[in-house]
């Protein structure tokens, strides 16, 4: 369990972002598990949301967040370009961590971050989004602002599937993410090059 005493200002380009805010802006590109693993993680997310008053959301690893833009078509086109330049990768997870930040209140840490970080940097280049040094690839299990004691209680209640937590990334999932989680909308899927 990891608690950060302070979290500095987060950036996407030159945009400031409040870690305790329940709202976000722009567009996001997600890597999403499929089939049985998706259903198992979704069940955990839904259970925690009901128990602790958080929103429910689709299981994902964020590849790039808060992408500025006013045109779905342009964001989709750039996402397709990025996907065409990628190869399928496998993503797996190790321990659960918590942080005093709304969108990282409780999450699974990646076992090997190298490939995802590399594609995150590539995505930043494709979209012209700089200053992404604070990127932490992860899969959230709960969104919310919890106290340290609430986080400890939440952690004690999580039961992960008793099998490998690994999935293959074959496509990018593009979301319009203006506002709170309930306002997010998937606008496209872009198959990566070798799986097209």
Helix crossing, 72-85 with 114-127: angle to 10°? Answer: 140
Total H helices, total E strands in the chain? 4, 10
pLDDT at 108: 97
Query: How far is 110 from 168, CA to CA, in rounded Å?
Result: 13
Query: How far is 131 from 64, CA to CA, in rounded Å?
Result: 12
Query: How far is 121 from 140, CA to CA, in rounded Å?
Result: 20
Domain boundaries, the chain: 23-178
Helix boundaries (H) for 53-184: 72-85, 114-127, 148-157
**Fold annotation for 23-178:** Cyclic Phosphodiesterase; Chain: A, (3.90.1140)
Query: How far is 17 from 108, CA to CA, in rounded Å?
Result: 22
pLDDT at 136: 92
pLDDT at 158: 95
| Positive or negative: CA dihedral 15, 104, 182, 190 | positive
pTM listed for this prediction:
0.88
pLDDT at 153: 95
Contact 171, 191 (CB under 8 A): yes
Residue 53: how many CB atoms within 10 A of its CB? 10
- Specify the DSSP class assigned to residue 28: E
pLDDT at 2: 35
Query: How far is 118 from 48, CA to CA, in rounded Å?
Result: 31
pLDDT along the chain (196 residues), means of 10: 32 54 94 94 97 97 93 96 95 93 96 95 91 84 95 94 91 96 97 72
- Is residue 120 helix, strand or coil? helix
- Is residue 43 helix, strand or coil? helix
- φ/ψ of 154, rounded to 5, equals -60, -45
Query: How far is 183 from 175, CA to CA, in rounded Å?
Result: 10
């Amino acid at each position: 369990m990891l608690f950060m005493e302070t979290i500095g200002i987060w950036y996407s380009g030159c945009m400031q972002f409040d870690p305790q805010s329940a709202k976000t802006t722009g567009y996001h590109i997600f890597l999403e598990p499929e089939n049985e693993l998706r259903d198992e993680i979704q069940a955990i997310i839904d259970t925690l949301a009901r128990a602790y008053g958080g929103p429910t959301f689709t299981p994902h690893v964020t590849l790039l967040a808060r992408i500025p833009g006013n045109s779905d078509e342009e964001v989709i086109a750039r996402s397709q370009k990025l996907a065409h330049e990628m190869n399928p990768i496998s993503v797996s997870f190790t321990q659960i961590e918590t942080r005093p930040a709304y969108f990282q209140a409780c999450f699974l840490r990646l076992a090997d971050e190298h490939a995802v970080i590399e594609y995150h940097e590539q995505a930043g280049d494709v979209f012209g989004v700089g200053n992404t040094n604070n990127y932490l690839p992860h899969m959230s299990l709960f969104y919310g602002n919890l106290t340290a004691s609430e986080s400890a209680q939440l952690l004690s209640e999580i039961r992960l599937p008793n099998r490998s937590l690994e999935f293959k990334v074959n496509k990018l999932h593009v979301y319009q993410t203006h506002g709170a989680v309930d306002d997010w909308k998937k606008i496209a899927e872009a198959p990566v090059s070798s799986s097209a």
